[in-house]
Amino acid sequence: MRISFILSILFFLSIISVSLAQEKGFGIGVLFGEPTGVSGKLWLGGTNALDMSAAWSFKGDGNLLLQADYVWHSFNLLSVSSGKLPLYFGIGGRIIFAKNDINLGVRLPVGLDYMFSEAPVDIFLEIVPILDLTPSTDFDIGGGIGVRYWF
């Protein structure tokens, strides 16, 4: 009796999790590329989200960085037979904690985000032009591929 009750609750929670999957709530996962680290995304509305990472850059001496972007999603540009594949673009910033400096930059991410229809998971790919502002002005490109689980 107790096991069937627990299984029923787990089943109910998995249905809720799938129904709220990728266009609502909060997702957490990993990002591989430049930088590599933990990725999180919080939906703020039907097409807007806050996308953030705590990651490690492999450029130079290798440094910890934090980045956050406000992104807009276009769900109508690309059509797939199952799930959703929005193009997203946005603006944000990054902070790199270098040995002797804190570097600040402006990010302009552009990417694709495949949202599975039957699972609370998404896979994303992005490229990010970056304008570093401190300690000197410089242009950089970042990007990567990642996966997130949605709660």
CATH number at residue 116: 2.40.160.20
Once rounded to an integer, what is the mean pLDDT over residues 84-110? 95
Per-residue confidence (pLDDT) for residue 143, from 0 to 100? 95
Positions of E strands within the chain: 26-34, 36-43, 48-57, 63-74, 87-97, 102-107, 110-115, 121-134, 138-150
Least Cα distance to 63 among 28, 30, 102, 33 occurs for: 102
Per-residue confidence (pLDDT) for residue 18, from 0 to 100? 37
Range of the domain at 39: 2-150
Whole-prediction pTM: 0.81
Max Cα distance, the chain (Å): 66
Contact 28, 148 (CB under 8 A): yes
* DSSP output for 101-113: -EEEEEE--EEEE
Per-residue confidence (pLDDT) for residue 3, from 0 to 100? 47
Residue 19 pLDDT exceeds 50: no
The residue among 139 and 16 whose pLDDT is bigger is 139
Q: What is the mean pLDDT of the chain?
A: 87
Contact 20, 150 (CB under 8 A): yes
Residue 144 pLDDT exceeds 80: yes
Q: How far apart are the first and last CA of the chain?
A: 28
Cα distance between residue 16 and residue 92, in whole Å = 31
**Domain count along the chain:** 1
Per-residue confidence (pLDDT) for residue 58, from 0 to 100? 87
Name the least confident of 10-14, 79-83, 97-101. Answer: 10-14
Residue 90 pLDDT exceeds 90: yes
Dihedral sign (CA 42, 85, 107, 96):
positive
